[in-house]
Each structure stands twice: as C-alpha cells, then as structure tokens.
Amino acid sequence: QVLGLATSSLALHAPSQIAAAIEQRAGEGGYSLVMAMVRGSGPDACRQALQELRAQRVDGALINAPLGRDDAAALAGAAGAWPLLFLDTDPAGTVPCVLFDPAEGARCGAHHLLQQGHRQIALLAGEAHSISAQLRLQGWQRALAEAGLEPVAVQYGDWSAAEGYRQTQQLLASGTAFTAVLVANDQMALGVLRALHEAGRPIPQQVSVVGYDDTADSAFFYPPLTTVRQDFRLLGAQAVDTLLAGMEGDMRSLTLPVALVERGTTG
Ligand code: IPT
C-alpha cells in the first residue's frame, strides 16, 4: 500500500521534520510514501495537492497544511471513502485528525512567563491565515486575560526567521516597553534573538523569549531556546498508524501532549 502526504512548504523547519518522521514510520512498516506540496494556502491549494496524490494512486493521505473547520470538512466530504487524516486543523472540528493541543501549548508558554513575574508581554503570532497560528494566539490572549493583563503588542509573521527579526526590529522601534516575547514558532524566535542581541537587550536578563515547536536545532540557538515542545517523531508515528487503521475502517482522532522545555532564554 502507498501512503500520501500533502504538506506545507518543506522549506519550513516544522513541516520538514514532520515529513521526515512520517517517512520514517511509513518505511518501518514497509509502506512507501508519496508527497505533494501544498503551494500557497487555503482549500484550493490543498485540493490541488490531493489531486496529485490521487493521480499517483495513493491508498490514503495525510494533510499537513492549515485548514479551518469548514474547509477541512469540505475536503473530507469530497474525498468520500478515500481516507484522509488532518494534521493542521481545528481540534473542535469534525474531521479525523492527529494534533497537538494548541490551547494547551499556548497556555504552557504564557504561564511560564507569568510565573516568572512578567507583566509586559509582546506576542508574535504566526501567519494570520493559519488555524494553528490563530489558536495559539487565542490561547496566549486567554491566559493573559485570566491574569488581568493585555499583551503590550500583537504582531504577525510568516513563520520565518527573517520575519521574526523584522517584526522585533519594528517592536523595538515603536518604543513599546516589554520584558518578554511569546513567539508562535522557533524559526521566528531565531530572528527575534538576533534582533534583541543587535539592539543590546540581553536575553534573558532584560527580555525573555519563549518559542513553540522545539525543532531539532532549537537547543543550539544562542542562548538555547526555551520553547513548547511538539514531539514531531511522535506525531509522525501516530499519524501513520492512525491513517493505516483508518484504511481498515477504524479512524480515530488523537490529541498529542505538549510540554514546556525550559532553557536559556527565560529565567
Ligand atoms: C506548525 C509549526 O508549529 C510552525 O512552526 C509552522 O512551521 C507551521 O506548522 C507551518 O504551517 S506545526 C503544524 C502541525 C500545526
């Protein structure tokens, strides 16, 4: 049997590490994996990638590209009996999915900063159209609101280090006072660290930074990044196993745990 993966750009660290983990698990089981890139965003881009997979006669497919509830439901409906498993959608939706809990991940990061006494917290969210970016942002805002706080700034980036760098330069130039930044992924956090270094703001003495993902390189940033761990190996294994079960008619959604990993950018 052949498995398919429709994925967000593999130029991004998280999707590429997720794809590697999926490929590994598929290989261990003796299955081959065919990949199709989702070029751009939204349901049409996904539909195109799924068509490419179907043309290559895959028996079922994983979709790691951001899709809101309705778009995911429409794609699943159009697929009929062809099994689809979603890896980047709203956990409150109706389609089968294997996901890390975005609300829990966001809460972990925000509580860590609140426990350390931070009150002036800036938010750097991910791409505005991404459902996961939206849910992480909502989770941060809820945690701050529960502590009687509002973020001192809310900015968005495209998940890249370059954008993390640029957005932090803008935040610094705006004169907004902040002692901590919650960043929606580690790649953007890499750029945040450099912008803070260049501005002479020592980390963590003057500014704390919390990332999200715990990609393979994040422990080697300088300082080593405090972040919210999503275990991509686990995701890859569970996604393949769940899809295989789904192809036998027993597809069950799964929520995977996240955990705060405390390193050198906070404390
Ligand atoms: C999500 C990553 O956390 C983020 O860093 C970015 O790479 C994004 O994917 C790309 O879409 S992980 C996803 C399974 C929610």
Q: Which residues of the chain have pLDDT under 50?
A: none
Q: Is 90 in the pocket of ligand 1 (CB under 6 A)?
A: no
Q: Are 85 and 144 in contact (CB under 8 A)?
A: no
How much is the pLDDT for 83? 97
- Give residue-wise pLDDT tens across range 28-56: 999 999 999 999 988 999 999 999 999 99
Rounded to the nearest angstrom, the distance between the alpha carbon of 184 and the centre of ligand 1 is 9
Q: Which of 38, 67, 87, 88 to mutate to test the pocket of ligand 1 (most atoms within 8 A of CB)?
A: 88
Q: Is 236 in the pocket of ligand 1 (CB under 6 A)?
A: no
Q: Is 106 in the pocket of ligand 1 (CB under 6 A)?
A: no
How much is the pLDDT for 119? 98
Q: Is 208 in the pocket of ligand 1 (CB under 6 A)?
A: no
pTM of the model: 0.97
Q: Is 141 in the pocket of ligand 1 (CB under 6 A)?
A: no
Query: Which residue has its alpha carbon closest to ligand 1 atom 12?
Result: 14
Q: Is 8 in the pocket of ligand 1 (CB under 6 A)?
A: yes
Query: Which residue has its alpha carbon closest to ligand 1 atom 15?
Result: 88
Rounded to the nearest angstrom, the distance between the alpha carbon of 134 and the centre of ligand 1 is 12
Q: Is 155 in the pocket of ligand 1 (CB under 6 A)?
A: no
How much is the pLDDT for 154? 98
Ligand 1, atom nearest to 130 Cα: 11
Ligand 1, atom nearest to 13 Cα: 7
How much is the pLDDT for 183? 99
Query: Which residue has its alpha carbon closest to ligand 1 atom 14?
Result: 88
- ipTM of the predicted structure? 0.99
Q: Is 215 in the pocket of ligand 1 (CB under 6 A)?
A: no
